[in-house]
Amino acid sequence: MNPKEREEAIIRSYRQDEEMMILVFAQWCVNHGLDPEELYLRAYPDQGANPALQHALSLTVPKEEAGVLEDDTVLSVIGLFGNEDLAFVVTEEIDRRRARRASSNNR
């Protein structure tokens, strides 16, 4: 494989991995009744609609059909791509969910 082919293969692999990260994020949102586009815009307000996220949304399944995606998993996957702003928004949602759960348990 020549250097140009190697570079193209690396880029393709990165894009596929990035698409998987977006799909994991989108499915996690669906599983928790959250709007992935709204969360993404909170993290990146200047970017507008994200075509990769819209594509990932077309691949998600209903919560009832999805497997469990742990909070730590989605945060780890997002972190692999250096999306600190998105990880921050996801963490806020995790904290909100835990606070609601704790509040309802204390009633």
pLDDT value of residue 45: 94
Domain definitions of the chain by residue range = 3-105
pLDDT value of residue 99: 93
CA–CA separation, 32 and 107 (whole Å): 22
CA–CA separation, 21 and 73 (whole Å): 10
pLDDT digits (tens, 9 = 90+) for 39-53: 999 999 999 889 999
3-class SS letters over 15-37:
HHHHHHHHHHHHHHHHHCCCCHH
pLDDT value of residue 7: 84
CB 88 within 8 A of CB 43: yes
pLDDT digits (tens, 9 = 90+) for 18-77: 899 999 999 999 999 999 999 999 999 999 889 999 999 999 999 999 999 999 999 999
Q: Regarding predicted confidence, which is higher, 102 or 24? A: 24
pLDDT value of residue 78: 95
